[in-house]
Amino acid sequence: MTSTEFQRLPDRRLCVAPMMAHTDRHFRYLLRLISSRVMLYSEMLTTGALLNGEPSRRLAFDAAEHPVGLQVGGADPVALARCARIAESAGYDEVNLNVGCPSDRVRSGRFGACLMAEPGLVAECAAAMLAAVRIPISVKSRIGIDGRESYDDLARFIDTVAGTGCRIFIVHARKAVLGGLSPRQNREVPPLRHEFVHRLKRDFPDLEIIVNGGIRSLEGARDQLAYVDGAMIGRAACDNPYLLAVADRELFGLGTPAASRREVLERFIDYMETRLASGDTLQAMTRHLLGLFQGQPGARSFRRHLSQHARASAAGIAIIREALELAAGARHSLHSAGCQPAVLPIHPAASRRDGTC
């Protein structure tokens, strides 16, 4: 196996969830600068968007993002098989079928979490995708939906889909309420039932089971690995992307030192200059930087400057360097005043507690 193939081999011990309006190519590139091994996923793309739009534009990503999976939404086995082939041709390392999104818009298209009521159809979709490509196919679901929320219901769903040969299941450990709750409320209101997902691994030991939901730190992810094969972090990675900084060492056993926040930013600036030359907007990229210094002295000054100035039509890379200098000035003011910051130094080597543990 070559080093390139090793880099692309999906290792799902720690994943970042596919999230609409968050996990675009720019955010994934930023995360890859922080961790070389965490499994990344795209935003969900529907079969209609892929087959009727411009696949090359929608699917474009940087080779540095590997391993990266494409999440698709749909309920037509033929269309999903075509999308899986397109994803494979585009270079993605995995295709994930969305059977977990609870939004009304998704449900009106007969895909997402409502498909948990039709395990036979999900099995047909998975079978068609598996037959179409050589890369892995995974399914991301909830633990249940209204009226189908017992563990036995979940186990029957998994058993039916696994009968096609699908071996990878990512399970958000909350049920989906398909009426009366917004997507955000569906991420927070239904109680977490991690024990359902843990039991799945015990009952289906040959399947790869990844748990999602309520995991907000590297320590929390590591705790889950005592019961399942992998853990998936969602909004916490958006709020504080640097929490992944010690994942390569702590979870994947790599000896490479983590880059500091400033080093990550400098490398991302190089990337931004390339993307700006290709026509991307500055704000489309800087919005992902807002949490990079989360918990550090000067973070508010950094965040405020980017938020206020990156949208201007004439804004350029200088805006980021100005924000960085403002953050450094805020840190200097704290030290000059004799204040002790309530957080630890920027570089993760200083402590396992920095940002994550």
12 neighbors 44 (Cβ within 8 angstroms): no
Report how far residue 49's alpha carbon sits from residue 314's, in angstroms, rounded to the nearest whole number: 32
- The 3-state secondary structure of the chain reads CCHHHHHHCCCCCEEECCCCCCCCHHHHHHHHHHCCCCEEEEEEEEHHHHHHCCHHHHHCCCHHHCCEEEEEECCCHHHHHHHHHHHHHHCCCEEEEEECCCCHHHHHCCCHHHHHHCHHHHHHHHHHHHHHCCCCEEEEEEEEECCECCHHHHHHHHHHHHCCCCCEEEEEEEEECCCCCCHHHHHHCCCCCHHHHHHHHHHCCCCEEEEECCCCCHHHHHHHCCCCCEEEECHHHHHCHHHHCCHHHHCCCCCCCCCCHHHHHHHHHHHHHHHHHCCCCHHHHHHHHCCCCCCCCCHHHHHHHHHHHCCCCCCCCHHHHHHHHHHHHHHHHHHHCCCCCCCCCCCHHHCCCCCCC
Residue 101 catalytic? yes
Catalytic member of 15, 101, 114, 238? 101
- Alpha carbons within 13 A on the beta-carbon side of 66: 14
Report how far residue 346's alpha carbon sits from residue 209's, in angstroms, rounded to the nearest whole number: 34
> Known catalytic residues?
101
